[in-house]
Amino acid sequence: MHWSMNTLPLPPYVELGVQSLSGLLWTLLLLFLWHCYRMGSDLPIPGHAHAGKLKSSSRRSMMSRSGICIGTKCSARSKLSRADPISPFISMETEEDEEQGQGYLTPVLSHALFPAQASAQAKKLYTALQEYAKRYSWVGMGRIHKGLREQVKLSDHSAIQKPHLFFLPDVPSVPFFPRDAHRHDIEVLEANYPVILAEFQAVYQRARASRLTRSLNGDSRLFQGQAVFPLYTAGVSVAGNCRSCPCTYRTLLSLRTFISSNSLGSAGFWLLGPGATLGSSYGPTNTRLRCHLGLQTPPLCELVVGGEPQCWSEGHCLLVDDSFLHTVSHKGPSDSGPRVILSVDLWHPNVAAAERQALDFMFSPDL
């Protein structure tokens, strides 16, 4: 069968005219080129670090903020001219953050953005963060940078939680954490409870036999009815004490989240004598949790964190956020013996791996 164009139900396309069809094609071409331009403007600069897709509005707001200097007037153009002309701006802001002016990361190309009224310790930490970023990257440093900029506002935090050294914002916190937060490490510690207890008892008996009243094995401190036999102090191992407790030392090394590389982390045996009470205090940071493994827990021993009381149990762990206001007491009879725990500092589960690496650098024992 022979088909003819006249038999097809086509619209009267001839009536459109060549000029109208040509105009339509040019309009579609211009729309396609405009779309390609908009898509291309959001691509990262080749060869440079870029954390995610930058919105054009974010970029404009970031460039405008980069032109603000404390005590001087300068434009965004002059600000960029003093830095690398193609240094990337890293934005971790949401549209809601931009409206409220509470974005995590503003441009970090100058010391001028850090609060002038910040303490010497906060400025030292900020300098360490900048050095870390030069060696590695600013990617993932949004919360740390925000925490350092707002360090001067620590006194504004509620009285129930007030870490005195460093506060990481937007970290979910409760006085006591469930076991699932660090299930692996808790199970490792509890599984090694018998050998850890045996090593402590050996150290304690040697200390009593040698009649040392100020310290245990020359490395512990006694104050207000409390004695400490440290295995790690401020991220540094106490070699002599670790040799006295080799199984406990190996157990610490097998933990996945033990803070052993910076001054925020410690581990050791803590003793509290009968009748002793330690007054209310705050820990240095909310980036860690303290794991208490009960070794000897006489009756009437209590730990109160953030107004919530808890008691230790032999062979079991408590996960404590000591950045909350906390007190410790031993109200048992004088012949009940000391309360003994193994205290181990673990990373807060909400602190990301990149943030842990940066905090290791900022709080390095060598700095």
* DSSP-derived secondary structure for 75-90: -HHHHHHHS-TTPPPP
Domain boundaries, the chain: 177-214+223-351
Burial class (CB in 10 A: 0-12, 13-18, 19+), 195: middle
Joined tokens for residue 301: 């021993």
| Stronger pLDDT, 85 or 149, i.e. the higher one | 149
Whether pLDDT at 1 is above 80: no
Whether pLDDT at 317 is above 70: yes
Closest CA to 295 of 266, 322, 316, 319: 316
For the whole model, what pTM was predicted?
0.67
Strand partners, 230: 268
pLDDT (0 to 100) of residue 227: 86
Question: Topology of 177-214+223-351 in CATH?
Answer: Jelly Rolls (2.60.120)
* Listed range (80-84, 198-202, 298-302) with the worst mean pLDDT: 80-84
Whether pLDDT at 49 is above 50: no
Whole-number percent of the chain with pLDDT over 90: 47
pLDDT in tens, 117-130: 667 888 899 999 99
pLDDT (0 to 100) of residue 256: 96
* Listed range (103-107, 110-114, 200-204, 269-273) with the worst mean pLDDT: 103-107
| Stronger pLDDT, 1 or 362, i.e. the higher one | 362
Question: Residue 148: in which H helix or E strand, if any?
Answer: helix 142-149
List % helix, strand, coil for the chain (3-state, nearest 5).
40, 20, 40
| Stronger pLDDT, 211 or 163, i.e. the higher one | 163
Which band of pLDDT confidence, cut at 50, 70 and 90, is reported for residue 297? very high
pLDDT (0 to 100) of residue 280: 84
Whether pLDDT at 230 is above 90: yes
